[in-house]
Amino acid sequence: MSRIAAVIGGGVIGGGWAARFLLNGWDVRVFDPDPEAERKIGEVLDNARRSLPGLGNVALPEEGRLSFHATMPEAVAGAAWIQESVPERLELKRKVFQAVQAACDVGAVIGSSTSGFKPSELQGCATRPEQIVVTHPFNPVYLLPLVELVPSEANPPEVVAQAKAVLTGLGMYPLHVRKEIDAHIADRLLEAVWREALWLVNDGIATTEEIDNAIRYGFGIRWAQMGLFETYRVAGGEAGMAHFIAQFGPCLQWPWTKLMDVPELTDALVEQIASQSDAQSGAHSIRALERIRDNNLVGIIRSLQPTNWGAGALQNAHDQARSGDMGLVQDISEVADIAAPVLTINRAVPLDWIDYNGHMTEARYLDAFAAATDRFMQIIGCTPEYIASGGSFFTAETHIRHIDEARAGARIQVRTRVLMAEGKKMQLWHEMVEGERMLATAEHMLLHVDLSTRRSVPPPPQIAGALQRFAAAHAGLDLPEGVGRAVGAPR
């Protein structure tokens, strides 16, 4: 399959799709008659390049090639994926699909970013309706993983499977909507909250900022990591969901909400909402708000990675799938040249690693080197399963030299070699680089420990043997400058 994606419509959503594909190594062709399209997409890409590479713990592939095209046939010819993101007018979308299918490959997937139309409506005038599916994303497309994948009866299972594979490969979560319905799943939920919010403003109950605070300081945080039903399952306590429904179900009969009604959007109400919104966040430009949003989203998703939960679990799976392509190995049998230092980290510096000086904070150097040690431990057989059985390595001493600075988005690599492997001891040397530039070195002395007694003991033969193989092979390398140096000692 070619790794070419065509994006038809370069607005906020189209630009987000372009960034998601481009930063995952796809070549992207854009068609948009707007003379400002290149500038607008360029600004979206600036934000994406700043935030997406550091979201995971494995480097993204080399960025694809971005090109802008004067005609739709130029953009879609040879593309494996075509994403339509034009305004929400059914007649316009149908015209786009007719033009696209006149020029695109018959095996390409054509996805629509529509937030409301059903796929059967979009397929109405199509030459090949089986190619067209709904792939409704959420803004910013380059960070939020959810995409609603909605087929119709015209789409064969292999098209749905092909779409799922591509979207998963981009680090997204394709939510397969099995039955067509207006506005799909997520927008129907959003509309219910939106209706209630409009009434609360209309009736003078709350301002736009107070409503936003109710969400972001309360249930929004719970929803971000656990969704709706699981949140209420926990609220039911030990008795579970049945107890929750028995306790709060009668409330659904009370006139709390106005879900079947909406206030008239008079000029006065629109002005009230707009003025409150401007007062709430007008101190920031849209681009600044986007960067603040991206910082927060990266922080929330990354905070879920250690517990392997929600969007964090999805990102972990995406990292694992890309590890091999980025040169990271899991086992000594996968090491191509045992005599060379081992690549143990290949990633970008994320936003939450940056300090007040605008570069990677010193604690994160230790974090990165500790992760490099963890990967090397896994390579020699000290896996999570082995640790669960009662053995591990403890760090006894560490010396880090900070040689140069790394900023947000910098692609860093750590290579690791064994200086010594004797009895209980493992001495490692890590070097962190950005391209050819040395950023830092770390020397670690570790002891193998029996976790039941918390005392140091020699590792078992399989781990000791793998470690000694590396030590013998690395003994032929020149001793690195700085080995054994004390703090403040002359070079």
- Tell me which residue has tokens 């930063």: 23
Contact between residue 211 and residue 197 where contact means Cβ atoms under 8 Å apart: yes
**What's the CA dihedral at 316, 319, 320, 322 to 10 degrees?**
160
Q: What is the DSSP letter of 458?
A: P
Q: Which residues pair with 30 in a beta bridge?
A: 7, 68
169 among annotated binding-site residues:
no
- Cβ neighbours for 2, distance < 8 A, ≥ 6 positions apart: 78, 79, 80
Give the Å distances, CA to CA, from 48 to 92, 360, 380.
29, 19, 36
List, as own/partner pairs, every contact residues 158-163 make where C-beta atoms lie below 8 angstroms and the sequence separation is at least 24, other chains included.
Answer: 159/109, 159/130, 159/131, 159/133, 160/133, 162/109, 163/109, 163/111, 163/133, 163/135
Q: Which residues pair with 416 in a beta bridge?
A: 342, 430
Asked if residues 342 and 415 have their Cβ atoms less than 8 Å apart, the reply is yes
* Distance of alpha carbon 97 from alpha carbon 410, whole angstroms: 40
Give the position of tokens 């394709």.
Answer: 174
d(C-alpha 105, C-alpha 82), whole Å: 10
CB contact at 8 A, 468 and 406: no
249 is in an annotated binding site: no
Q: Is the separation of the CB atoms in 454 and 399 below 8 Å?
A: no
Distance CA 121, CA 223 (A): 32
Examine residue 140 and say whether the peptide bond preceding it is cis (omega within 30 degrees of 0): yes
Phi, psi (degrees; rounded to nearest 5) at 174: -80, 110
- State the Cα–Cα distance between residues 430 and 373, nearest whole angstrom: 8
Burial category of 32 from C-beta neighbours within 10 Å (exposed 0-12, middle 13-18, buried 19 and up): buried
What percent helix, strand, coil does the chain show, rounded to 5?
45, 20, 35
User: How is 155-219 classified by DSSP, letter by letter?
Assistant: S-HHHHHHHHHHHHHTT-EEEE--S--TTTTHHHHHHHHHHHHHHHHHTTS--HHHHHHHIIIII
Q: Is 10 annotated as a binding residue?
A: yes
54 is in an annotated binding site: no
- Those residues whose C-beta lies under 8 Å from the C-beta of residue 14, and which sit 6 or more positions away, are 7, 8, 30, 32, 41, 83, 85, 113
- Which residues on neighbouring strands pair with residue 150, listed in sequence order? 134
Q: Say which residues have a Cβ less than 8 Å from residue 488's Cβ, sequence separation at least 6.
A: none
Binding residues for NAD(+): 9-14
Binding residues: 9-14
